Structure 1
Amino acid sequence: MTKYIKSLFLAALIGFTACSEDFLTVQPTSSQEAGGPATEGAILANLGATYQILLFDSYADFQFNSVPLMSDLRSDDIYKGGGDAGDQAALYRLSQLALESNDVPTGLWNIYYSGLSRANNAIIACENAVDVDEDRLAQYNAEAHYLRAYYVHWLWKFWGNIPYFEEDLEEPYMARQYTADEVYAELMADLAVATAEDVLPMNTTSTNDGRATRAAAMMLKARVVMYQKDASKYAEVMADMQTIVSEGGYSLPDYASIWARDGEFGAGSIFEANHLPEGKDWGAAWTGFGTNLPRFVSPNELKGDDLLSGADFYEGGWGFGPVRTELVSIFEEGDKRLAGSINQFAKGTYTERFQNTGYFMAKYAARADYADAPYTPDLNFENNVRIFRYAEALLNIAELEVVHGVAAGAKTAQSALDDIRERAGLESIAANVDNIKLERRREFVGEGIRFWDLVRWGEADVLTENIPDFSSNRTWADYKKYLPIPQSEIDKTEGEFKLVQNEGYN
């Protein structure tokens, strides 16, 4: 049954006159905005507004900015696709590692800065709490710190050296630009709050699906530490992953079942963005609950009677993100993840578009009856975006032990890799560096992980290519791990707060 994120705190909100029953649309009280005392209702109102940002990354601020897609566009897994090179031209230049400061898609910048601001308000509300149970207050505070870290970590990974603030900004609304290392320190401080023992649960009950857990905070810490390549924290991350294995109650369900409606909040899911098929509209840039990603990545004008896959009929879309042919070849014969990750449709069942390969991403494909009127179907698919999965915890264990030399615990690199491969229907192989990295690529196709892995492994040179048949000619340079800071944002700043462009860009 579909879980509705807007009802996550319904029970908690009953009786608090400071907010309505709709978790995602309530607003903080005026006294809280001014830093006054905060009731539990005001805290929940701010926290609900902070969670809502999870639902905006596929379409908000009148732009298409799905994090999995924008991450994968810079990888060697997919092409840009769409109508032609000029269709969402900024995304094509992103895929070619050729963005300049005047054409950066600013949607993610604006969305996640809104998330930072909302999280700040939730944390300030917790600091000014009045008559709130201590245990519940600690939980709300940890959730807010987790969400702030989650939103800021995307700004950090995409741009590195960014403005950062923890208080409401006064006019002219500018903040000091932190270095990437300074941002990392702030992330770790927030994650220390979110991962503290006995504050957040390791898992959620069905009535709380979609809320932050200690396991989710541990997973975010792992991504941040491993991307920073902070070897001093590797042992902590290994201990966190072992705790998830031993105490989280997670497991590995059938791979294909993860991505359909019935697989939401399944046994292998640690954290998801809980999308609903309602509310978003072309003329409303900051409303609603659905996701556009399925329409974006599905083949154009899909038709025919042979489009049944498992229990789901697929719908057509706009043909972005076609899967590269060579990606299909990395899967071994019998690997169940291939069908769960990549769709192939027969020639003539869809309209071929720019950079067509015949292969499309399956995990977030447009499924029939996942978006219906009266809401705008293109923007309101209910496919949950799976943010952290148990499989990643297992592969983190394998990588930390074999690649980085960290002592394992009860779950070893070999047993973790065996668990992943057994679920895929494959035999055991040696847990060596190459096998672990390849298994990670197979496991997370279409989930926006591959590019960031290549960067942190120092292997992004493989992104340099010249493929005339698919209009892809790009050159990797280390400075391109960061995007250029949008020129529009630089132009807004002045004096001591003047933003400095990232190295390598004009």
Structure 2
Amino acid sequence: MKKFTLYSFAALALMLGTASCGDDFLSVEPSSSLPIDGYYTTESRMMESAVAAYDPMQWYDYFGGWAPLSLVWDAMADDMYVGGGNTSDQSQIHLISQYKSDPRNNIDGAWTTSYSGINRSIRLIDNAKDSDLSDDKKALFIAEGRAMRAWYYLVLWKTWGNIPFYEENLTSLPYLADQLTVDQVYEKVVVDLESVLDSEVLPMKQPDEWAGRMTQAAASMIYADYVMYQKDQSRYGKALGYMKAIINSHKYDLVKNYNDLYALDKEWNEEIIFDVNYIAKGGKRTWGDANFTGGTVYPEMIGIDGLTIKCAEGHTPEFTSGWGFGSVSKEVYDAFEDNDRRRDVAILNLDKYARAKFAEGDTVTYGGRYQNTGYFLR
């Protein structure tokens, strides 16, 4: 995956201690630490706070268990099956796909990740308020933090419903927050998002070097997600207005070649409004070392198990094998019309693909793990 500065430069600045002759050289400040009070004064230091707030977006892949949100939510919606080896292979995803999670076996990593993101988003807001930046720069960071806070709450709200909710970080033990109902959470978040969007502080689109940072368009999509999921017809008009603003800005467009949505060299094409950035180059994340830095594990999880492609001379395999999770349901594949070009670009019908490759002189075989359908996310 493409490497973006946003997710790779967030090391904290080091303060080089100085020592003069005399007894005080024994009590110099540690060179690896700085007091937090008064630290976030410059734009570069504020960017450290912003990067910290974005960072948990990468954690959903693995946090105490493999549970990428795309797999979890699509399995809950019956668009795909969990798959893997059997029901005990990442059993937390199998349980939630059947709405049978229990307190001892669930995707609690997503819960912890979301609240970590909320905490850091609020810190970004607070740090911006206390910084020495211009009012315009302060407003930008504050809006960015509020939009991210709404996104992290969206994950919690859609997955768990009634949740502990707070807009200011908890400051004293035992760190208790009121649990609000689904409707109460919805109302608080959308009202705050409306304030962010109507201020138009966020840019409609970020320049290429900041692709992945929050924008007016991304915040608008988060707002529409809330409104449509809630079926709040009283806000359909407002959501539609935000959508029209994205279209009329001419900052985004549909790709002319649908296949470009899946091409590595077409990342952040004109159709992408908001993505989570990962870095694959130099990544060390593996099944046994899930907490190492690396790209998203999702392609490996949904990779075709036991896939073997024996190519004729001059041919190159298009796909590699994986762990066999996330097989697409036949009902989803059949829901497309035969002439819908999106179907066979987005979904790999492996039997159809194998026949086509055989005609070209290649041989394609695979294993077929638990809940295999023969249809895979391409």
The TM-score, its normalising length taken from structure 1, stands at 0.63
Cα distance change on mapping 1:246 and 1:312 into 2, 3 Å = farther
Aligned residues: 344
Cα distance change on mapping 1:255 and 1:203 into 2, 3 Å = same
1:436 alignment counterpart: none
Q: Is the 8 A contact 2:67 2:93 kept in 1?
A: no
Q: Where in structure 2 are the equivalents of 1:78-227 lying within 5 Å?
A: 78-130=80-132, 132-165=133-166, 166-227=168-229
How far 1:101 moved relative to its partner?
A: 3.0
Q: Where in structure 2 are the equivalents of 1:25-424 lying within 5 Å?
A: 30-32=35-37, 36=38, 38-40=40-42, 41-60=44-63, 62-130=64-132, 132-165=133-166, 166-253=168-255, 254-277=257-280, 278=283, 280=285, 288-305=293-310, 313-346=318-351, 349-362=365-378
1:260-300 Cα deviation digits (max 9, x unpaired): 21221111111111111125466766552421111111111
- What is the alpha-carbon distance in structure 2 between the residues aligned to residue 183 and residue 171 of structure 1? 23
**Which runs of 5 or more structure 1 residues have no equivalent in the other structure?**
20-26, 363-506
Secondary structure of 2:326's aligned partner:
coil
Structure 1 runs of 4+ aligned residues shifted over 6 Å read none
Secondary structure of 2:187's aligned partner:
helix
- What is the alpha-carbon distance in structure 2 between the residues aligned to residue 119 and residue 197 of structure 1? 19
Cα distance change on mapping 1:67 and 1:255 into 2, 3 Å = same
How far 1:178 moved relative to its partner?
A: 1.7
Cα distance change on mapping 1:65 and 1:283 into 2, 3 Å = same
Cα distance change on mapping 1:353 and 1:9 into 2, 3 Å = closer
2:358 alignment counterpart: none
- What is the alpha-carbon distance in structure 2 between the residues aligned to residue 117 and residue 174 of structure 1? 14
- What residue identity is the alignment partner of 2:275? E
How far 1:38 moved relative to its partner?
A: 3.0
- What residue identity is the alignment partner of 1:270? I
How far 1:29 moved relative to its partner?
A: 5.6
1:4-45 Cα deviation digits (max 9, x unpaired): 1436878xx9xx9579xxxxxxx996424xxx5731244222
- What is the alpha-carbon distance in structure 1 between the residues aligned to residue 294 and residue 125 of structure 2? 24
Cα distance change on mapping 1:332 and 1:236 into 2, 3 Å = same
Cα distance change on mapping 1:312 and 1:147 into 2, 3 Å = farther
- What is the alpha-carbon distance in structure 2 between the residues aligned to residue 206 and residue 260 of structure 1? 17
How far 1:251 moved relative to its partner?
A: 0.9
Secondary structure of 1:240's aligned partner:
helix
The TM-score, its normalising length taken from structure 2, stands at 0.83
- What residue identity is the alignment partner of 1:291? T
After superposing the two structures, state which structure 1 stretch, 343-352 or 201-210, moved more: 343-352
The percentage of aligned residue pairs carrying the same residue is 33
Cα distance change on mapping 1:303 and 1:194 into 2, 3 Å = farther
Secondary structure of 1:271's aligned partner:
coil
- State which structure, 1 or 2, has the greater radius of gyration over its C-alpha atoms: 2
Secondary structure of 1:304's aligned partner:
strand
- What is the alpha-carbon distance in structure 1 between the residues aligned to residue 147 and residue 33 of structure 2? 20
- What is the alpha-carbon distance in structure 1 between the residues aligned to residue 241 and residue 33 of structure 2? 38
1:350-409 Cα deviation digits (max 9, x unpaired): 1111111111111xxxxxxxxxxxxxxxxxxxxxxxxxxxxxxxxxxxxxxxxxxxxxxx
- What is the alpha-carbon distance in structure 1 between the residues aligned to residue 287 and residue 366 of structure 2? 25
- What is the alpha-carbon distance in structure 2 between the residues aligned to residue 127 and residue 281 of structure 1? 40
Q: Is the 8 A contact 1:215 1:248 kept in 2?
A: no
1:469-506 Cα deviation digits (max 9, x unpaired): xxxxxxxxxxxxxxxxxxxxxxxxxxxxxxxxxxxxxx
1:392 alignment counterpart: none
